[in-house]
Amino acid sequence: MSGYPKTAILLACQFLLLPVLTVSTGPTSVSAKMPGKKGSKKDPQKPPVPKVFSLEEGIADDVVLPLVPAKPRTPEEQKKIDSAAWYMTGRLREARNDFIGAYEAYKKAMENNPNSVEIYRVLIRLASGLDKTEEAIEFAQKAVELDPEDYELMRKLGLHMAGQGRFEDAVMFLNKASDSPAINKKSGVYVIIKHDQANLYERLGKQEEAAQCWEVVFNALTKPDDYTFEFTTRSQLEAKQAKLYERMGQSFLETDRLKLAVEAFNKAAESQKGRPGILKYHLAQVYFRSKQYQQALDSLQSYFDEQLQSKGRKAYEFLGEILAALNRSDELIPKLQTLAEKDRFNRTLHYYLAEQYGAAGQFDKAEKTYLDSIGNSSDVEGLAGLMSLYKKNQKYDKLIETLSKIVQTGDGIQKIQPDLQKMSQDKEFVKTLVAEAQKLKDKDPPGVDVFSGFIIAKLAAEAGEKKAAGEFYQFAMNAAEKHKKPQVRGNWTLLILQEYSELLREENQYGELAEFLQKAVKNPLLAPQRINLLYFLADAHERNGETEAAIKVNQEARQAAPRFPLLDYQHAWIYYHSRDWDKAIVQLKEFIKKYPRQKERVYQVKMMLSNTYVQQGDIAKGEAVLEELLADDPDNPSINNDLGYLYADQGKNLEQAEKMIRIALKSEPNNMAYLDSMGWVLFKREKYKEAQEYLERASKLPGGGDSTILDHLADCYHKLDKTKEATELWKKALEDALKATPPDTKLIEQLQEKLNQ
């Protein structure tokens, strides 16, 4: 383990203190004037004045001279002194909460002294705090190489990996810690490491390895005199020993360590005084594992007799497993009925009984059991069970009513999300549900409300029934606006608006979306969202080809929020999207000038500005913008792609262009635009076969029917003498280009020319 020599530390301290020292060469103070200044030739007999350092040139204060050692330092000594100086700089910056500056200083200290474990420890701590996980791992691995016996460091790194969700790496470091020759196998630290390993192995599904680790923890807890526990470590384990014993017992049970399992469960029972039923439950598990099914049933009955609920649904499922093993499954419902009669307030039991009724085809009993247990509450578990019962038995009116109740519970939608996902995948079910809901909503009063209408709309949208989804979103919106509760009129209107807007955008129905948003802007209950609504309304107008309306709405929004960068960005984007290049350039430049600190947005604006110049025919300016961006961010995929494509399109710098586009493609191998660029640069390099591969891949991706991509692929086919395929693609590209909003006249002319050749 390498630290710092005292001499190096002292010299570093002297170096850092220089600015506050004064130096005297005798009764006469050293002049504050620098050599070469006017007046320096007054006394030519004096020896040359050495260069000095002062805080402020020209002020006649005492000054300091750099320390020159009597014996020149070796390069290695100088590096250690520099390292110590940077280390102390890091300490100073850290004390001032400048953690990034401290981190950089410590890294320089490490560069000058790469064999100091202490520096790596500090770097690991700061790298972890700054979310530089990979660097923290790199430093830790280096530290472990320097000091293989540092099990504490390996343990900390393992826990850090676990916190990052990197469980395999975490186990590896914890294994190194527990296997370290320096660790005392009877120490509290060793036991805690084994505890952590057991947790991780269970997460990874490695039950045998987990049980081996739990054995160490179990021995330490049951034979404390054999271990040297620190007070804190012992307290941590004892504070949760009841659950810990139970967990260890479960692990031993699953790995057929039945004797240990019984011991652990007994210890758990001792920690939970007055609750022998818990022990009986666990003993039932042991009996079941050893195929003593009747003893398992008798032991489990003791748990039921105490009317305990700690094991929840698992206890009743376990009962079913035992009866199945005894070939007595027909006794399950009668036994559950008996238990339910004695334990009237155990909802979990009653819901499980209702579920068994449903599975046995006893609908009426199942429904009554659910309803009686739910009562006047809004218990989502019971309502979800009822929902499944109604779905299975095609009781659509009751299903729709139950869906409404679930939605109104607050977190109900989230809890039944897996059920909703399964429903949406059953296309026939969704069609039938929608048909029944349409009948119900036309009744007076409607059998569908805002909540059930919303859920039906979502199910229809997920199932691909877009028209029905739109119909029910509209219905839900109207129902929300008329609802007696203001919070429903406001919050639910906004929620439905967001969901329906997303659907219309996916379907490119921007005209309908604009009408929809126009109504929302006028809704007084949505006043707090007015700026956002105006933003989306302007976007919808522009995408629908209504540029003047878009500019007008955007102007209204900017007047209401004059320093809102997104609105100024949209102002420029509208001109850019509508291909009004002159106005786009003005607004794009204005944005850059107005919001220099909006780094990400300015980057986007500059990318748009570059393309605008290119579209105007001023390719040199377009290139210049991209080259400036690339100089600041040489590995940026988008910049590399756009500049590489621009070079390729002109047929220049083709080798460099290919390298740049490969940088982009490496970051996103299935990016449609990057694949098109790669195909195009290969086409320009006359590598037509290779180009075809990339262009075909691009054309098959979502959105790959873009006219430009089809044009490029057609050009490639043409060069490969696939004339028929080329002509078909040019025709399709032209059809799509003519439908585009706004149309690209230059591309249209090029396609028409190719078809007429």
Q: Which pLDDT belongs to residue 273?
A: 64
Q: Which pLDDT belongs to residue 24?
A: 37
On the question of pLDDT at 426 being above 90, the answer is yes
On the question of pLDDT at 2 being above 80, the answer is no
9 compared with 72, residue with greater pLDDT: 72
On the question of pLDDT at 99 being above 60, the answer is yes
368-418 confidence digits (pLDDT tens): 999 999 998 889 999 999 999 999 999 999 999 999 999 999 888 899 999
Over residues 314-343, the mean pLDDT reads: 95
Give the Å distances, CA to CA, from 105 to 75, 138, 140: 20, 17, 18
548 compared with 146, residue with greater pLDDT: 548
Q: Decide: 400 and 436 in contact? Cβ < 8 Å.
A: yes
Helix (H, G, I), strand (E, B) or coil at 527: helix
SS3 of 122-162? HHHHHHHHCCCHHHHHHHHHHHHHHCCCCHHHHHHHHHHHH
**If pLDDT is split at 50, 70 and 90, which confidence band does 267 have?**
confident
- Separation CA 515–CA 501 (nearest Å): 11
* Residue 706, phi-psi category: left (phi > 0), alpha (psi -120 to 50), beta (remainder): beta
**If pLDDT is split at 50, 70 and 90, which confidence band does 64 have?**
low
Over residues 103-115, the mean pLDDT reads: 90
- Separation CA 187–CA 175 (nearest Å): 16
Give the Å distances, CA to CA, from 205 to 172, 252, 310: 15, 14, 24
Q: What is the DSSP annotation of 306-353?
A: TT--TTTHHHHHHHHHHHHHTT-GGGHHHHHHHHHHH-TT-HHHHHHH
Over residues 256-262, the mean pLDDT reads: 89
699-727 confidence digits (pLDDT tens): 999 877 789 999 999 999 999 999 999 99
Q: Which pLDDT belongs to residue 464?
A: 92
The separation between the first and the last C-alpha atoms of the chain, rounded to the nearest angstrom, is 78
Q: Which pLDDT belongs to residue 78?
A: 85
Task: Give the lowest-confidence range in 74-88, 446-460, 595-609.
Answer: 74-88
On the question of pLDDT at 41 being above 50, the answer is no
- List CB contacts of 20: < 8 A, sequence separation 6 or more: none
On the question of pLDDT at 321 being above 90, the answer is yes
Superfamily the domain 577-756 falls into: Tetratricopeptide repeat domain (1.25.40.10)
Give the percent of the chain with pLDDT over 70: 90
- Closest to 513 measured CA to CA, from 492, 529, 491, 535: 535
- Separation CA 469–CA 512 (nearest Å): 14
Q: Decide: 367 and 389 in contact? Cβ < 8 Å.
A: yes
On the question of pLDDT at 637 being above 90, the answer is yes
DSSP conformational letter for 53: B
On the question of pLDDT at 436 being above 80, the answer is yes
69-89 confidence digits (pLDDT tens): 777 878 888 888 888 899 999
Q: Which pLDDT belongs to residue 530?
A: 94
Q: Which pLDDT belongs to residue 137?
A: 77
On the question of pLDDT at 22 being above 50, the answer is no
- Closest to 392 measured CA to CA, from 369, 360, 440: 360
Over residues 176-183, the mean pLDDT reads: 85
**If pLDDT is split at 50, 70 and 90, which confidence band does 140 have?**
confident
Task: Report the mean per-residue pLDDT for the chain.
Answer: 86
**If pLDDT is split at 50, 70 and 90, which confidence band does 62 have?**
low
Give the Å distances, CA to CA, from 414 to 377, 406, 410, 454: 18, 10, 9, 14
**If pLDDT is split at 50, 70 and 90, which confidence band does 138 have?**
confident
Q: Which pLDDT belongs to residue 371?
A: 96
On the question of pLDDT at 56 being above 60, the answer is no
Domain boundaries for CATH 1.25.40.10 within the chain: 148-268, 577-756
CATH node for 148-268: 1.25.40.10
